[in-house]
A = this chain, B = another copy of it.
Amino acid sequence: MNAAVLHAPRDLRYEQVPIPTPGPDEVLVRITTNGLCGSDIHFYREGRLGPFTVSGPYIPGHEACGVVAREAARPGGPREGQRVAIEPGIPCRRCAWCRSGRYNLCPQVVFLSAPPVNGTFAEYVAVAADFAHRLPDSVDDESGAFVEPLSVGVQACTRAGLKAACSVAVIGAGPIGLATMLVALAFGASPVYLVDRLARRLAVGAGLGAAATIDVNAGDPAARLAVLTGGRGGDCVFDASGSSAACACAPAMAARGGSLTIIGWPEKGTFPFPVESIIEKELDIHGTNRYCNAFPRAIALLASGRIDVHPLVSHRFSLDRVAQAFAFAADNPADTIKLMVRTA
């Protein structure tokens, strides 16, 4: 089959590799669409991300949907010909975290595209049958490939304990911040404010339902949010900025008794943080690490028509032009939101 193989930083080749052989509980999925994630770009550009380093030829990608080409032996999973979204983190199913429902914290999780594990930028992928989630006809392929980043938003809103009618501020209007905003709106949040430094992204957010946007270039965003909320702040604040400085400002944006949920890995691991305000306002700070039990919910929200992700797709490529897709995304971060790569 054809696949996108990363040999070295900026050396991504569209080439022939063997079709993977599914295990007894796995399905073989013919991929139709892949989304390009910021982490893919990190591996492409720098050959590493956090604790992971690319040390040999490896296939990136973990935002994918496709069609079941071969179903699993065990009954109950998706059948041949059915369309599925692939949940890329397969846990051990046996540890305390797996058994209590937080399988994303399984110490032995195998995550597609975390090197050296291959990912989904290929014609075929083998994956555990119960991690291939059926897509209804009303959810098209691009939406199917978007289930993964939406699930990050579902996890964040769930971890936040977001209740309908609460006010929300999302810091960071990249794909994850915008996905989180869409999910927050689908959860009934109101109003939702969006914070970023790029006017173009804020404009996209305004078109997707943000009650107001806050440009950090225009002054202290916490002061601006205070004006917008009558001095109260946001009931649930999300930081999807990936910026230590932005994250450190987030507690000031939260209401007394509110919460801050941190999605984006800040560029520094340890940095000055206003712990005092956690105590004074009795805040809850929630970390999120990927997702658990979120894919079916993201699919249901897409199927209901509550969420339309197409406005977030800024560019489209075919799989044979995958090297160009990566190069374009790596070189134009401010101009892209989500790139989609279509296999066939």
Chain A: residues with CB nearer than 8 A to chain B? Answer: 25, 76, 93-105, 107, 129-130, 154, 157-159, 163-165, 183, 186-188, 190-191, 244, 247-248, 256-257, 262-263, 265-266, 268-289, 292-293, 296-298, 300-301, 303-304, 306
Contact = CB atoms under 8 A, between A and B. Distances in A.
Chain A interface mostly:
mixed
A138 B327 CA distance: 47
A100 B101 contact: yes
Interface centre among A25, A99, A154, A281, by most chain B C-beta atoms within 10 angstroms, is A99
Contact of A276 (B154, B248, B257, B266): B266
A270 B270 CA distance: 12
Contact of A287 (B99, B244, B279): B279
Given A278-B262, A288-B279, A300 B165 contact: yes
B159 A282 contact: yes
Instruction: Across the A-B interface, give the 8 residue pairs with the lowest CB-CB distance, nearest first.
Output: A101-B101, A269-B276, A165-B297, A190-B304, A285-B285, A278-B287, A273-B273, A165-B300
Contacts of A97: 256-257
A107 B271 CA distance: 30
A286 B275 CA distance: 10
A157 B165 contact: no
A23 to B, nearest CB: 13
Interface centre among A94, A157, A187, A301, by most chain B C-beta atoms within 10 angstroms, is A94
A160 to B, nearest CB: 11
B272 A273 contact: yes
A306 B104 CA distance: 33
A235 B99 CA distance: 16
Contacts of A296: 96, 165
A296 B266 CA distance: 35
Interface centre among A103, A271, A301, by most chain B C-beta atoms within 10 angstroms, is A271
Given A273-B271, A275-B271, A257 B105 contact: yes
A288 B284 CA distance: 9
B186 A105 contact: no
Contacts of A129: 94
A287 B293 CA distance: 23
Contact of A284 (B266, B273, B286): B286
A287 B297 contact: no
Contacts of A102: 101, 257, 282
A265 to B, nearest CB: 6
Contact of A304 (B191, B263, B272, B282): B191
Nearest to A129: B94
A283 B276 contact: no
A272 B274 contact: no
Contacts of A269: 274-277
Given A101-B100, A130-B99, A272-B272, A288 B293 contact: no
A96 to B, nearest CB: 7
